[in-house]
Amino acid sequence: MSHPHPELGPPPVLPEGGLRIVALGGLGEIGRNMAVFEYDGRLLVVDCGVLFPEPDQPGVDLILPDFEYIRDRLDDVEAVVLTHAHEDHIGAVPYLLRERRNIPLIGSKLTLALIEAKLTEHRIQPTKVEVIEGERHVFGPFDCEFLAVNHSIPDALAVAIRTPAGIVLHTGDFRMDQLPSDGRLTDLGGFARLGTEGVDLLMSDSTNAEVPGFVTSEREIAPVIDEVIRTSEQRVIVASFASHVHRIQQVMDAAARHGRKAALVGRSMVRNMGVARDLGYLKVPPDLIVDSRDIEEWPPEDVVLICTGSQGEPMAALSRMANRDHPIRIAEGDTVLLASSLVPGNETAVNKVINGLTRWGARVVHKGNAKVHVSGHAAAGELLYVLNLTRPSNFMPVHGEWRHLRAHAKLAALTGVPDDHIVIAEDGVVVDLVDGRARIVGAVHAGYVYVDGSSVGEITDTSLKDRRILGDEGFISVVVVVDSNTGKLTAGPEIHARGSGIDPAQFDEFIPQIERALAEKAADGVVDMQEIRRVVRRTVGRWVSDTYRRRPMIIPVVVEV
């Protein structure tokens, strides 16, 4: 079993006839999925998604893959294959197309429609190639066959990539629901056919590799949603991913059965469901939809609101309702249904929203107390099924945190894949498929690129560290005026503090210490302004640490005269 090594160096030149795979995101994390395939000097990208920030990344809106590895080779990119339209697979496409606008985007009808709606906001008109399951398309040296897979969004695809180096099957995100609400099954026959032909490398979704058995069918959720809406005496507010067309369909159908009107709340929800309805993926019952701005005109027992915010996102509609920062006000007797899974890392934010909603008198129904969601990712039993169908010569788990990747690797070993043919990689690790063997051969940089407002990549890890210090400890600024010739203090020190928890009156007792430290340096002939700043920072930092056991950010301002 191959492991990434912390001392991996740059990869060698790709051998003739070999296929190189570099994940720029999605390995060791849930999100930011992006894999780059290289053959004979040409590149194919599979997915280009975003990662959502953690609480210790303040001010960050999105996290992108680092395109540096391919930035000088964008003209070599034949296409970007998009397996489905979730944000962790398409969210970074607008940022990639800013660097080369005519890269062809390959995907199913719904996937391309949703990404085009997103790109319109970025004023980008994409080059698109629509594909359906069962088709094969050639992009440079890459012969791509597309297969239907069932997921928590319609029109998801797996892709088999054929080159002279062999066949790579990339499953994308999938599950094996045998009774899907849209009747679209994962193409197990196609997987088996590829297995007979010979899969040289299987790259498979690992999200639920630790979950035993098989995922519950989507159809088992509909009766629970129906019961919640039927028994609720006031408004029902349903929070879901803005792309979960199947779930929204179930909610709309239940609302119609019980004589309620439905309103969509949230820009992404309105946009995505509009696209899904126009393309026929969402069947909206007649006279069901009303404008959310007119919802107060309807009796609360006749209303279902469908909104974003199931993950506790601060700016999403549900979070704002919980904080009383939204035109729609939560009232006593309302029912809130969180109809989605809990993305790892979002537990604290979601619990905060649940508490906020409960505070205003709402009953909150969620996965922890009712069967209101099933995962869109295959559990261990399904993953074993795919491994046995495809019988890959080499295996590389993708799309998951470290525990998921390792659990999936163990499943592959159980099905007979030799340990030295199982590659556990991480972002930036270079894997070459040469002469039927997949091996780790090096690593390239694949760090985080932060989006903060309109800035992309300007925020660094150092910037985030400063933000965390400011948020946790506050800051102290110290202004001193010194003679540029002698280094002697001529005015100040003047001290200002914000968020440090220190009584400003205490600074009066401390100022003489700064004066003494500067006088000693002046006596030693120190006139370098950088050294004077360091003296101020060290003196203040030592005093704050010794007196208050705190470590605020200290900003010395030295004015020369």
Residue 415 backbone dihedrals phi, psi, to 5 degrees: -85, 0
Distance from C-alpha of 192 to C-alpha of 336, rounded to nearest angstrom: 43
Task: Report H helices in 391-498.
Answer: 402-414, 461-473
Angle at CA of residue 448, ends 443 and 449, nearest 5°: 125
Q: Which amino acid is at 107?
A: G
| DSSP three-state, residue 423 | strand
DSSP category for residue 83: -
377 labeled part of a ligand binding site: yes
Sheet containing 236-239: give its strands across.
261-265, 303-307, 236-239, 335-338, 363-365
Beta bridge partners of 37: 21, 44
Please give the Cα distance from 470 to 467 (Å, whole number).
5
Token pair for residue 242? 């803005």
Residue 275 and residue 242 in contact, taking contact as beta carbons nearer than 8 Å: no
Q: Are 432 and 444 in contact (CB under 8 A)?
A: no
Residue 122 annotated as part of some ligand binding site: no
Q: Is 373 annotated as a binding residue?
A: yes
* Cβ–Cβ under 8 Å, residues 400 and 23: no
Q: Is 479 helix (H, G, I), strand (E, B) or coil?
A: strand
Residue 359, amino acid: R
Q: How far apart are CA 128 and CA 6, in angstroms?
A: 39
The answer to whether residues 173 and 83 touch, using CB atoms and an 8 Å cutoff, is yes
106, exposed or middle or buried, with CB in 10 Å at 0-12, 13-18, 19+?
buried
Phi, psi for 161 (deg, rounded to 5): -105, 115
Helix intervals (H) in 217-341: 222-231, 245-257, 267-278, 317-322
User: Which residues define the annotated binding site?
Assistant: 373-377
User: Which residues define the annotated binding site for substrate?
Assistant: 373-377
